[in-house]
């Protein structure tokens, strides 16, 4: 989606990834397939481009450093290093005074037992690195869950978090350009299923106070990091209306995909503008909007009925071009716009249910 925006504005895109025929590669001018640890390939790549950015935060720091020897990298490698590891990210947030879920660093089973008794049941054990879409997480509801949760880590560094009985989850997608101008898309409301984002809609149903506080926190995080590009801050909103930062995404985020169809400037175009040294575009929302994810699961009964999902003209279909529709894998999304966010959610969910070829 970033590459589509870049091509629209006449930029040529060279993508680097360990895979071939990737969603980005299908749209880019040039696709380099190499391991992120192949520093010769990274350096050759960096010498062929004018600026480097990411759509995935788990690029090893060593690869980013190698690219930065030749060319500007946005967001900076240091920011990527902080945000690609839950422990570093949470430590950064809490030491700068941002509200986060209570957490403890875990290195061994004894430490886990101690941390569980401190944080209480239920709690969630998460690997510090390489987690996404709920991968690398296990919920600990009682003593019997401790050993299997620890065994599931395979000795990876991890974080134990108190489970937050949240009222809802929200996010702020925002961007800052190289001159320090900041824009945001307001508050987006998110619903997860099996720890995977399912539905997002904007505007979120939150009070003015929560809206202002969420945006203030996002702005302060961008400021503290000296961030250039699009950033997403994911929050839990507790039942007593407190905002806790759950995690940061140093890139366009799934909850901001609705900006592609619903806003004057999408989160991907903001990323492009920011990293290329252009001014940011308007974040105005044309109409309230909703996005529902399409996971590989929808292929279970055969090829989804795309045409039927589009019988409502307010529905837009996005398919990413990932080659294999695995269960739980994000393959695309549907966006709907309407007079209200609630109506947009209804339209998008109905469109998704019409995809089932057996229905």
Ligand X SMILES: Nc1ncnc2c1ncn2[C@@H]1O[C@H](COP(=O)(O)OP(=O)(O)O)[C@@H](O)[C@H]1O
Alpha carbon distance 225, 83 (integer Å) = 10
Q: In the bound complex, what is the minimum distance in angstroms from residue 189's beta carbon to ligand X? A: 12
For the chain, the C-alpha Rg in angstroms (whole number) is 20
The residues binding ligand X (CB under 6 A) are 101, 124, 131-134, 161, 163-164, 169, 192, 195, 234, 246-247
Alpha carbon distance 129, 170 (integer Å) = 23
Tell me whether residue 164 or residue 283 sits nearer to ligand X (CB atom). Answer: 164
Q: In the bound complex, what is the minimum distance in angstroms from residue 209's beta carbon to ligand X? A: 22
Looking at residue 129, the DSSP 8-state letter turns out to be B
- In this structure, are strands 330-337 and 289-295 parallel, antiparallel, or unpaired? antiparallel
Return the structure tokens found at 294.
């399409």
- In this structure, are strands 30-33 and 14-17 parallel, antiparallel, or unpaired? parallel
Q: In the bound complex, what is the minimum distance in angstroms from residue 40's beta carbon to ligand X? A: 31
Q: In the bound complex, what is the minimum distance in angstroms from residue 122's beta carbon to ligand X? A: 8
Q: Which helix or strand (DSSP H or E) is residue 274 part of? A: helix 267-275
| Residues comprising the chain, all counted | 359
Tell me whether residue 234 or residue 269 sits nearer to ligand X (CB atom). Answer: 234
Tell me whether residue 28 or residue 124 sits nearer to ligand X (CB atom). Answer: 124
Tell me whether residue 28 or residue 232 sits nearer to ligand X (CB atom). Answer: 232
Q: Which sign does the torsion angle of CA 122, 128, 130, 136 carry?
A: negative
Tell me whether residue 78 or residue 198 sits nearer to ligand X (CB atom). Answer: 198
Tell me whether residue 31 or residue 234 sits nearer to ligand X (CB atom). Answer: 234
Alpha carbon distance 72, 54 (integer Å) = 12
Note whether 101 and 137 are within 8 A (CB): no
Please name which of 63, 60, 59, 62 lies closest in space to residue 45, comparing C-alpha atoms.
63
Q: In the bound complex, what is the minimum distance in angstroms from residue 246's beta carbon to ligand X? A: 5
Q: In the bound complex, what is the minimum distance in angstroms from residue 91's beta carbon to ligand X? A: 15
Q: In the bound complex, what is the minimum distance in angstroms from residue 61's beta carbon to ligand X? A: 19
Tell me whether residue 3 or residue 171 sits nearer to ligand X (CB atom). Answer: 171
């Amino acid at each position: 989606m970033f590459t589509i925006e870049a091509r629209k504005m006449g930029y040529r895109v060279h993508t680097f990834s360990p895979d071939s025929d990737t969603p980005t590669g299908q749209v880019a001018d040039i696709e380099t397939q190499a391991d992120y640890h192949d520093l010769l390939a990274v350096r050759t790549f960096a010498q062929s481009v004018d600026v480097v950015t990411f759509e995935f935060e788990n690029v090893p720091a060593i690869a980013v450093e190698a690219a930065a020897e030749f060319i500007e990298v946005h967001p900076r490698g240091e920011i990527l290093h902080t945000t690609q590891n839950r422990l570093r990210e949470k430590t950064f947030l809490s030491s700068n005074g941002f509200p986060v879920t209570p957490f403890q660093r875990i290195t061994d089973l004894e430490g886990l037992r101690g941390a569980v008794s401190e944080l209480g049941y239920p709690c969630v054990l998460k690997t510090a690195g390489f987690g996404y879409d709920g991968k690398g997480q296990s919920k600990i509801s009682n003593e019997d869950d401790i050993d299997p949760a620890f065994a599931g880590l395979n000795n990876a560094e991890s974080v134990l978090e108190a489970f937050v009985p949240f009222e809802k989850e929200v996010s702020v997608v925002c961007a800052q350009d190289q001159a320090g101008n900041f824009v945001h898309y307001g508050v987006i409301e998110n619903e997860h299923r099996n720890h995977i984002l399912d539905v997002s809609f904007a505007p979120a149903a939150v009070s003015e106070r929560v809206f202002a506080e969420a945006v203030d926190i996002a702005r302060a995080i961008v400021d503290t990091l000296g961030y250039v590009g699009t950033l997403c801050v994911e929050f839990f909103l507790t039942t007593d209306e407190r905002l806790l930062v759950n995690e940061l995404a140093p890139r366009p985020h799934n909850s901001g995909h609705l900006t592609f169809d619903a806003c004057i400037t999408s989160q991907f175009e903001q990323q492009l503008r920011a990293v290329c040294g252009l001014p940011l575009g308007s974040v105005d929302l044309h109409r309230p909007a909703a996005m529902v994810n399409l996971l590989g699961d929808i292929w279970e009964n055969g090829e989804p009925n795309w045409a039927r999902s589009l019988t409502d003209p307010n529905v837009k279909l996005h398919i990413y071009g990932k080659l294999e529709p695995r269960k739980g894998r994000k393959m695309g999304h549907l966006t709907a716009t309407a007079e209200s966010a609630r109506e947009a959610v209804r339209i998008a969910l109905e469109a998704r249910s019409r995809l089932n070829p057996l229905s």
